[in-house]
Amino acid sequence: MNTAYILTGGNLGNRQQNLQTAAMVIEEQCGDIIALSALYETAAWGYTEQPDFLNQVLVLQTQLQPEQLMSELLQIEEKMGRVRTVKFGPRIIDIDILLFNQLIIKSELLTLPHPALHERRFALTPLQEVAPQLPHPVLHKTISQLLHECHDTSNVQKIS
């Protein structure tokens, strides 16, 4: 059994309902969600002239291999109406694999751990809630340490 740490987020439509739908479909198609972070309202990152996001981390137990899981997650995004137009732009749903076991992978489809994880407070904060002592397989620091050292000053507010 594999453990994947997944970040869901979105800033269009009913954000909370979209995250709930994504979690439900991920569990139906990909494995068992064994932990969920709270929801966090977060400032847009990269392209800031857009509405705030809601983000949540899911801890998934799955039989799938990393690239199979990524393919499933991309299909879920598409079925939920995700359209990729502007990099870092507004979206109904975004689903990223942050970590998968302690694997290090770089392929056309997937890079693990997520290459910008340590730079993004909106990902580290909910991840730290569910896995504070989890080591980053490349940086060899815990998620709590990475959050403490993160230079990102974006607003991340727990809402539930």
Q: What is the pLDDT of residues 14-73, one digit of tens each?
A: 999 999 999 999 999 999 999 999 999 998 877 777 889 999 999 999 999 999 999 999
52 is catalytic: no
> What CA–CA distance (Å, rounded) separates 54 from 155?
12
Encoded tokens for 105: 């992978």
Encoded tokens for 19: 């995250």
Is the pLDDT at 86 greater than 70, yes or no?
no
Catalytic residue among 94, 120, 121, 152: 94
Q: What is the CATH number of the domain that holds 83?
A: 3.30.70.560
> Per-residue DSSP letters for 71-98?
HHHHHHHHHTT----STT---S-EEEEE
pLDDT of residue 50: 82
Pair 56, 98: CB distance under 8 Å: no
Catalytic residue among 82, 84, 120, 152: 82
Q: What pTM does this model have?
A: 0.94
Owning domain of residue 59: 2-158
84 is catalytic: no
| Percent of the chain with pLDDT strictly greater than 70 | 96
Pair 6, 60: CB distance under 8 Å: yes
pLDDT tens for each residue of 96-147: 999 999 999 999 989 999 999 999 999 999 999 999 999 999 999 999 999 9
120 is catalytic: no
Catalytic residue among 91, 120, 121, 152: 91
Domains contained in the chain, number: 1
- Quote the distance between the C-alpha of residue 135 and its chain's center: 17
Read off φ and ψ for residue 102, nearest 5 degrees: -120, 30
